[in-house]
Chain A
Amino acid sequence: DAGVIQSPRHEVTEMGQEVTLRCKPISGHNSLFWYRQTMMRGLELLIYFNNNVPIDDSGMPEDRFSAKMPNASFSTLKIQPSEPRDSAVYFCASSRPASGVATNEKLFFGSGTQLSVL
């Protein structure tokens, strides 16, 4: 089975440019999460979707960040304009919620996108 697929693996861009990160969740998983990881702040939840609907975007740093999930097999995280402080590893993860309780159990992570904004 294919796991969570993220692209690109590495992205180097200049300040002010638009960056689009892509994610394909595991088939059958109906929750999708975007996390950002830095040395200083660890893994931070940016946004998560359930059945393609954004449920909690309180972690999105500012209006420069936006995320979409047009269908069950694809999501994007866009940064426009990008800034050097956006440099981090961005992980996408998916899960299949446990039945009966609105908790998210095992997360399957993609390999991440290493973003460097110069």
Chain B
Amino acid sequence: RKEVEQDPGPFNVPEGATVAFNCTYSNSASQSFFWYRQDCRKEPKLLMSVYSSGNEDGRFTAQLNRASQYISLLIRDSKLSDSATYLCVVNMYQAGTALIFGKGTTLSVSS
């Protein structure tokens, strides 16, 4: 079983749509969770951290379910500029472990 799994998509949605991405992780000891965004041929950049209580940043909402080892990202009122690949990222609190990335979910928003 892969450590971090995501539906690769692509998700093709019209502007204004609401879209949700899911991610599962295999290690129950994982402590920190993030969503990164990667534009085509660019480096990944942090979109938002994911907290146990859920958190929101404008049109973006992230949620964590530790019991199910599941993370989600909800994007409301999609914009053309949201088109990118969204990477689910997990860190486990253990010496010698760094951030593990999922393969990413590709989103394409069209007008």
Interface residues of A (CB under 8 A from B): 31, 33, 35, 41-43, 45, 48, 55-56, 58, 91, 101-107, 109-112
How many interface residues does B have (CB within 8 Å)? Answer: 24
Q: Are A104 and B98 in contact (CB under 8 A)?
A: yes
Is B17 located at the chain interface by the 8 A CB criterion?
no
**Given A42-B102, A45-B99, are A103 and B93 also a contact pair (CB < 8 Å)?**
yes
* Chain B proximity of A55: nearest CB distance (Å): 5
Complex: chain A residue closest to B101, CB-CB? A43
Q: Of all chain A residues, which has the CB nearest B8?
A: A42
CB-based contact A109/B98 at 8 Å: no
Q: How far is the CA of A30 from the CA of B94 in the complex (A)?
A: 17
Interface SS of B by simple majority = loop
Q: Is the CB of A91 within 8 A of B43?
A: yes
CB of B97 within 8 A of CB of A56, answer: yes
B31 part of interface (Cβ distance < 8 Å): yes
Tell me whether A45 and B100 are in contact in the complex, defined as CB-CB below 8 angstroms, given that A55-B95, A103-B93, A104-B91 are known contacts.
Answer: yes
Most chain B beta-carbon contacts within 10 A, residue among A91, A103, A104, A109: A103
Q: CA A75 – CA B93 in complex, angstroms?
A: 25
* Shortest distance between the CB of B34 and any CB in chain A (Å): 8
Complex Cα spacing A35 to B99, Å = 10
- Closest Cβ of chain B to A53, distance in Å, is 11
